[in-house]
Structure 1
Amino acid sequence: MQPTGELRGDAVHVGGDARQRFYDSRGYGRPLSGNEIALSRVEAAHLLFRGDLSGVAIDGDDGPTLGFERFFVDSAAATDRFAVRYLVYADLRDRGFYLSPTRDGWPGGDADVGDAVDLVVYERGSTPDTGDVLYPVRIVGERESLPAADVAGQTLAVVDEESDITYFAATTPDIEGSTAYDPPSELTGVLLDDRVMVWNAPEALYVRGFYGQPLTGRAADIEGALQLSLVEAASLAARGSLSLSRSIGDAGSDPAADAIRARGRAVEGDRFDRRLSVYERLRDRAAVPKTGFKFGADFRTYLDVETVEELPHSEHLVRVVDPDHAFAPRELSLDVRLAGGVRKEMVFAMAGTDGVDWLSVGRLTP
């Protein structure tokens, strides 16, 4: 005979040998006095589904006793996002994990995780008593928005409209390169509509520093012509390496760095400043950022460039967003899937006036 629980407030109380049967042996609920335990609605629903509880009494002895179906519907009406939280809880239980809701007074409730985390999953072999958290899980429906600024360190469980679950690990990336190249200090270029042309660029600027793209062709009789993107040119000008001999359009007598930055804002708006900020920080970390247009990103990165003739595969795709950016889960899944398909790490750079914060998101199989 399986025990019956009683709903008191938002917790289901179970007596008898519940502590030994559910908490000590399988990590369900939290212990109360004696052998009684309290289960969250999600935990109680899972035990009902498995047949380990015979029912849940509502409103004391005079109320009805609900089976899984009615208790699930009642809980969905009473509790925010109950259905998606149950789906993730049940999936992780089926994978063999012990886990707990993160709420004050519950196992896991005092774990060092953010307020938005729904569940904590313990390391295999751990219980709520030991508290070794493996995954702090944040549950997101397919149509919800997800702020980029507060997800680092969390495991994202995205539930789609067909109740399938996709897991993502959100971390802070370690982007540190070893590209040793200092650009020369006397480059001269011409500012065109949306790029800068350097006519007598030293070969090492491209071959060793991987700046720009040579202007070349099968029958070319011109050597040393290098096309720089506005981001590359603005960075070189800000470092004192590039001046302008001429500008196509109204640049006046502005210094090169100001003129190029103004042109970037004219063709791209405020987004240019954010991309430039990220570009410069990547260069400061001895990484080489190049356009990520072919991959739908702002940059791809190379950590160790000795020469373009022996160029390694790029390691990251970087998309620049503003600090208040909120992901649509579908958009996030698309970015991560594309990056994984080309064997790169997907990185989001949240660039604002206070600097750049970094976020890496990748698929996870618990």
Structure 2
Amino acid sequence: MDSMKGVLKGDKVIFGGEAVAELYNAQYYGRLKGETLELALVEAAYLLDRERISVDQEGRSLSFRDFFIAASQAQEYFELKYIVYRDLRERGYYVQPSVTDFRVYPRGGKPNVAPSKYFVHVVTERKPMPLQQLISNLQAALNVRKEMVLAIVDEESDITYYGVKFNVLKGGMEPVQLTPVPGSATFLQDRVVIWDTEVSTRLHQDGFYGNPMDDRRLQLSLVEAAYLIMRGKLEVTDYEGRIMTPDDFTAKALQIESSFVGKLKTYTDLRDKGLVAKTGFKFGSDFRVYEKIETIEKIPHSKYLVGYVENDHVYQMQDLSRSIRLANSVRKDMVFAFDRSGIQYFSLGRIKL
């Protein structure tokens, strides 16, 4: 055991001698620094618990308990990182600590032989995560061709793994060919009603817009009406019969719904990409999204739930988990939209490692 004795210095455990060959060359623990080997705290804790190494600090041999307490004081969220590191190692993965918490190699892959597959970020359920941090981490993973994984540790130390990826959404719906009919629609209190039977039928049957009020008239949501006005497909008047411009409509809609602008940007992007977006209220989201609807008599299963978030949005882990679980329970992908030089999308879903 003497040759496998390391010394705790700050947030590293330093080894020399045979440990370099035994731990690094054969088992891929640690990082070489000249003729010495540096183990991260989680690596050292894992090996110490299995009595593969011993660790000294200032001439005193540390028990696992002593080491764990010292490591927890030296590194924020050390306990959580250890829980995830141990779980991945015991699942048979090679794991290397990194600035992203961990680089994880595919099953059968080894460091210095195959490239790592995942960047794993360890998160406590108690700490909120800003959207910008999540996107920055995701972009960093993509820049080096890795998959991003969130490992969320709850208060009972259970781990849930979520895969995070950017999405490119595309559908197969063609734009509705329609010439605006004067006086055909009115903006009421929080929705638009189309009075013209032909316009109502064309919009609903050809584009799955709105919801029929009866067999002659159609109700549109605010985003549906705003989109059709912008695309020159619909003329909407106010109570006094004045034709509403897109700016007029948006200003009034904002008085009703503070998040209207972001939702409209998302809706517009989805429709322009050939997708059909309908309200996702029943699923706790902004939209449920269909790739294509052939006929309204046979509506397919919607594929996505899409929620728009502002750039300064901060995710609460419980809310995030709730959204993903609900989407999975109804066989949909949970997708989030944000505006960065145009609407972009990313999804989160539970994965099994």
Q: What is the TM-score normalised by the length of structure 2?
A: 0.91
Q: 2:203 aligns with which of 202, 205, 219?
A: 205
Matched, 1:300 2:288: yes
2:94 matches 1:135: no
Partner in structure 2 of residue 126 of structure 1: 109
Answer yes or no: is the 8 Å Cα contact 1:194–1:263 preserved in 2. Answer: no
The structure 1 residue matched to 2:327, chosen from 339, 359, 365, is 339
The within-5 A match list for 1:1-366 is 1=1, 3-34=4-35, 36-53=36-53, 55-59=54-58, 63-103=59-99, 117-130=100-113, 132-149=115-132, 150=135, 151-152=137-138, 153=141, 154-187=148-181, 188-200=184-196, 201-216=199-214, 223-244=215-236, 246-248=237-239, 253=242, 255-269=244-258, 271-351=259-339, 354-366=341-353
Structure 1 residue aligned with 2:144: none
The alpha-carbon deviation at position 64 of structure 1 amounts to 0.8
Secondary structure, aligned partner of 2:228 = helix
Q: State the secondary structure of the residue aligned to 1:343.
A: coil
Distance in 1 separating the partners of 2:246 and 2:256: 16
Q: How far has the Cα of 1:307 moved from its partner?
A: 1.2
Distance in 2 between residues matched to 1:66 and 1:5, nearest whole Å = 10
**1:147 to 1:247, Cα distance in 2 relative to 1, 3 A:** same
1:131 shift after superposition:
5.3
Shift of 1:57: 0.7
- Contact kept, 8 Å, 2:186 with 2:238, in 1: the verdict is yes
- How much does 1:183 deviate? 4.0
The answer to whether the 8 Å contact 1:301/1:314 transfers is yes
Q: Structure 1: how far apart are the matches of 2:276 and 2:57?
A: 63
Cα distance, 1:254 vs structure 2: 5.8
Contact 2:194 2:200 (C-alpha < 8 Å) held by counterparts:
no
Distance 1:208 1:254, change over 3 A: closer
1:220 paired residue number? none
**1:294, 1:155 → 2: CA distance?**
28
Task: Tell me how far 1:129 sits from its aligned partner.
Answer: 1.4
- Deviation, structure 1 residue 257: 2.0
Quote how far apart the aligned CAs of 1:347 are: 0.5
Q: Secondary structure at the match of 1:359?
A: strand
Q: Which amino acid is 2:317 matched to? A: P
Contact 1:97–1:124 (Cα < 8 Å) also in 2: yes
Q: Deviations over 1:302-347 (max 9, x none)?
A: 0011111121100000111101211111111000000000000001
Tell me the CA shift for residue 68 of structure 1: 1.0
**Aligned AA (1:66):** L
For residues 131-175 of structure 1, the C-alpha deviation after alignment (integer angstroms, 9 at most, x for no partner) is 512110111111111122324352101111111111101100121
CA deviation string 1:105-137 (max 9, x = no partner) = xxxxxxxxxxxx211101222222135121101
> What CA distance in whole angstroms lies between the structure 1 residues aligned with 2:177 and 2:337?
25
Amino acid at match of 2:32: P
1:301 partner SS: strand
CA contact (8 A) 1:99 1:119 kept: yes
CA RMSD of aligned residues (A): 1.8
Runs of 4+ residues deviating >6 angstroms:
none
Provide the C-alpha distance between the structure 2 equivalents of 1:293 and 1:231, rounded to a whole number of angstroms.
14
Cα distance between partner residues in 1 of 2:82 and 2:60:
22
Amino acid at match of 2:171: G
Deviation at 1:252, TM superposition (A): 8.2
1:172 aligned counterpart, secondary structure: strand
Tell me how far apart the structure 1 counterparts of residues 112 and 190 of structure 2 sit (CA, whole Å): 61
d(CA) in 2 for partners of 1:288, 1:228: 14
Compute the TM-score of the two structures, normalised by the length of structure 1: 0.87
- What is the alpha-carbon distance in structure 2 between the residues aligned to residue 145 and residue 210 of structure 1? 38
Q: Which amino acid aligns with 1:234?
A: A
Q: Give the secondary structure class of the aligned counterpart of 1:69.
A: helix
Q: How many Å apart are 1:267 and its aligned residue?
A: 0.4
Distance in structure 2 (CA, Å) of the matches to 1:275 and 1:330? 23
Contact 2:176 2:206 survives alignment (8 Å): no
